[in-house]
Amino acid sequence: MDSIVVTGNGPLNGQIPIAGAKNACLTLMPATLLSEEPLTLTNAPRLSDIRTMTTLLQSLGAEVSSLQDGQVLAMSSHDISNHKAEYDIVRKMRASILVLGPMLARDGHAVVSLPGGCAIGARPVDLHLKAFEAMGAELDLRDGYVFAKAPGGLKGGIVDFPIVSVGATENALMAATLAKGTTVIKNAAREPEIVDLADCLRKMGAQIEGDGTSTITIQGVDRLHGATHSVVTDRIELGTYMLAPAICGGEVECLGGRIDLIGAFCEKLDAAGINVEETDKGLKVSNRHARVRAVDVTTEPFPGFPTDLQAQMMALLCTAEGTSVLEEKIFENRFMHAPELMRMGAKIDVHGGTATVTGVERLKGAPVMATDLRASVSLILAGLAAEGETIVNRVYHLDRGYEQVVRKFSGVGAKIERVKAE
């Protein structure tokens, strides 16, 4: 397996272009199944997860072409020839479950394997199924697959989620666009990716109100048409690269960045002593201080602090002045990066969903192991600020969520290289 070698090299300066959002694109791609007409996505990220979703859609009969070096996805689902999403593809990525709602809404039946993905908690699909049942679907779970049917088509209903779920909100939203009547989604997720999906669906002819709030109302239509849509900026990649000058010092402008996408994260950077300012091109982040201040962080659904930035924020706080407390409220088992950071000299005490981090003046390079997508990049950030060389192993996780990571870090002065496995 490939590894990434990082050597602490002082302050970083320059510009980093931020890609389209992985989580948004993985949701937008299944929307092609809702219409017989073409759907084109621009500003698409070039990631292994996007290739996996492409393979899944093609297995169902959709046509997917990658254009302009992968930044444009041209899709057409004029003929869904297969309504079964096989385990061998679905197991690679949890977002695969998002083909269930569109197929069920359009053709009244679908068979989808229970999904896989990162090992950061159970993340069951029961909320997705609850939503489809509220719209009149008949569901049967057997042999590791969800067998779903709605012989007379889905019907509008009240979907009231007991907890906020981004994926379940997305699946319900897509399914409801073709359901007969009105569907109301209560306790809906409010993430920018939800708003981006709703914007795309409206371009396709859907009637949606309330996205970005906890109550979304959808008036079903008979059919959707084609559209062209630009994928929203990846707020997690944005936050990750904003942390690079925060942890190393220097000044970096993140092109395409927007404060409204990560307001709670920016507030924590400000409390830590990091300066963030909007420019006409994005967000400029600077750190003129020797060490940042300790801050407490609690992960929450949007607009709170994103769970997908918790690992990266922990890397920063490992070198902060004082003691920080990080509370993880979204996913259990999401502190697996802590022992790896401790190999680099970090002082971290984990109890259940809480990690107490006592800052040290300088981390030390060491061989470490990536345990999941966000943990992998947190170790790179730590390595950028560490004394000596850090070798990050099992970086295949990284390819799922960050495009050209070595090039982007190198472009602002980081000493980083990818070493191919022999």
Q: What is the pLDDT of residues 154-192, one digit of tens each?
A: 999 999 999 999 999 999 999 999 999 999 999 999 999
And the tokens for 229? 């849509």
Q: Whole-angstrom Cα distance, residue 360 to residue 363?
A: 7
Question: What's the pLDDT band for 289 if we cut at 50, 70, 90?
Answer: confident
The answer to whether the annotation marks 407 as part of a ligand binding site is no
The answer to whether the annotation marks 155 as part of a ligand binding site is no
The answer to whether the annotation marks 127 as part of a ligand binding site is yes
Whether 118 sits among the annotated catalytic residues: the reply is yes
Cα→Cα distances 385→136, 344, 378, 390, Å: 54, 11, 11, 10
The answer to whether the annotation marks 80 as part of a ligand binding site is no
**Residue 238 has what pLDDT?**
98
pLDDT tens per residue across span 212-265: 999 999 999 999 999 999 999 999 999 999 999 999 999 999 999 999 999 999
And the tokens for 245? 């000058």
The answer to whether the annotation marks 125 as part of a ligand binding site is yes
Question: What's the pLDDT band for 373 if we cut at 50, 70, 90?
Answer: confident
Q: What is the CA radius of gyration of the chain?
A: 22
Same-fold call for 3-18+233-419 versus 22-230: yes
- Which of 143, 144, 145 is closest to 109 using CA atoms? 145
Those residues whose C-beta lies under 8 Å from the C-beta of residue 215, and which sit 6 or more positions away, are 184, 185, 186, 188
Q: Whole-angstrom Cα distance, residue 198 to residue 172?
A: 12
DSSP state of 289: S
The answer to whether the annotation marks 23 as part of a ligand binding site is yes
Q: Whole-angstrom Cα distance, residue 336 to residue 347?
A: 14
**Residue 123 reports pLDDT greater than 50:** no
Of the ranges 42-56, 323-337, 394-408, which is most confident? Answer: 42-56
**Residue 398 has what pLDDT?**
87
And the tokens for 273? 């002593």
The answer to whether the annotation marks 38 as part of a ligand binding site is no
**Residue 28 reports pLDDT greater than 70:** yes
pLDDT tens per residue across span 318-327: 999 999 999 9
Spell out the alpha helix ranges (H) of 273-362: 310-317, 338-343
**Residue 21 reports pLDDT greater than 80:** yes
Those residues whose C-beta lies under 8 Å from the C-beta of residue 290, and which sit 6 or more positions away, are 249
Q: What is the CATH number of domain 3-18+233-419?
A: 3.65.10.10
From the candidates 118, 200, 248, 318, give the one annotated as an active-site residue. 118
Q: What is the mean pLDDT of residues 402-407?
A: 93
Question: What's the pLDDT band for 87 if we cut at 50, 70, 90?
Answer: very high
**Residue 378 reports pLDDT greater than 80:** yes
Class of domain 22-230: alpha beta
Q: Whole-angstrom Cα distance, residue 274 to residue 422?
A: 41
**Residue 117 has what pLDDT?**
44
**Residue 116 reports pLDDT greater than 70:** no
The answer to whether the annotation marks 124 as part of a ligand binding site is yes
